[in-house]
Amino acid sequence: MVQVLTPEEVQARSGRMFCKRFLTLVDEKNEKVQIIETCSSVGPAEWDLVNRRRTGGVIESVDLKSTMLFTNTRLGEGEMRLGPASQQLGAQGISAVRIEGDEVRTTWYGMAGASVGIGACLPACPDVLRTEYPDDFKMGGAHIAHVDIITPKYVRVVIGIDDTDTKEKGATWVAGLKLGTQCPIGKFIEHKIVQLNPDAPNKTTNCCGTAVSFAVKESDIPALIEYAVDFIRKESYSEDAVLTVYQGLKIPEPLAKFGWDCKSILFKPADAIKVAEECGVQIISLNGGDKGVIGAVAAIGCFDMGEKAAGVPQDFE
């Protein structure tokens, strides 16, 4: 008989451990899933990253940003290379990911110390709905354990922003970060400052756009956009502010190319509007102008480029 425990019940049994965040984002169109964890320390996150890469299963890639672990998987099942950590084997991984209505079921395997991670640490996180333990579950020692962790199904929404400031006051990146940290809808994930072409004639000073991402339930997307529009309108000092919205885990290649090219090429608003229409980006002009549309579209295009988003091409030659 399967034992089902809530995070509170796991905490009562094993104590509150080290996973501070556990979010599951789904992109059904591209059959992709991203699991975002925040750990109390970078050491366990680094170890999990290396072992999950070795283990395979449904995992396609794993990235670490400080103590935030981004595990990218495909939907379905996959054969694992599980065993004592070695060059060929990993001691922790995911064998299956399934969408069940508005929930996501992930099947985790771990052995030895990694069994504590999947059996006590992750299931104790308040973001988890419940965890299912098989009858033969044993944690620690040399045991191989597996559990099913069930979490809410979220989607990723990226909001790009530009031209909220003037030469006298304001900073677009500040408006974006305040949106992310103060928004009561969904879960704030990341904030990026995106450097654009420093030779742009109409820039304020540094010529930067900004973007923030959220994990949000699909039904809450309209409320998130409405909140963001009202928030940025109140935070703007400029009449040219533009907000853009993109949903999904994969930034389309034409959109990413446009974002990168905006660091060295001077485009017209019509160019940004064309790319946005082709790639499913919603454009919202807060005051009827289109001056900020280039930076707001480019900010989404560069969102998944890591440190390259913050620089210009010459920085990476």
Which pLDDT does position 41 carry in this prediction? 96
What's the mean pLDDT in 61-66? 96
**Does the pLDDT of residue 167 top 80, yes or no?**
no
- 219: buried, middle or exposed (CB in 10 Å: 19+, 13-18, 0-12)? exposed
**Does the pLDDT of residue 168 top 90, yes or no?**
no
Q: Phi/psi at 287 (nearest 5 deg)? A: -135, 15
**Does the pLDDT of residue 20 top 90, yes or no?**
yes
Sign of CA dihedral 176, 177, 180, 183: negative
What's the mean pLDDT in 178-195? 98
Confidence bin at 166 (pLDDT 50/70/90)? low
**Does the pLDDT of residue 25 top 80, yes or no?**
yes
- The DSSP letter of residue 220 is G
The letter for the amino acid at 61 is: S
β-partners of residue 68 are: 38, 65
What is the C-alpha radius of gyration for the chain, rounded to an integer number of angstroms? 21
β-partners of residue 111 are: 144
Nearest to 53 by CA among 67, 35, 41, 71: 71
pLDDT higher at 44 or 168: 44
The ranges assigned to domains in the chain are: 3-154, 163-316
Confidence bin at 207 (pLDDT 50/70/90)? confident
Which pLDDT does position 203 carry in this prediction? 59
Nearest to 231 by CA among 157, 159, 310, 309: 159
Q: Are 238 and 170 in contact (CB under 8 A)?
A: yes
Domain 163-316 belongs in CATH node 3.30.70.2200: yes
- pTM for the model: 0.94
Q: Lowest-confidence range among 187-196, 197-206, 240-249, 256-265?
A: 197-206
**Does the pLDDT of residue 201 top 70, yes or no?**
no
Which pLDDT does position 113 carry in this prediction? 87
What's the mean pLDDT in 10-30? 94
Which pLDDT does position 237 carry in this prediction? 85
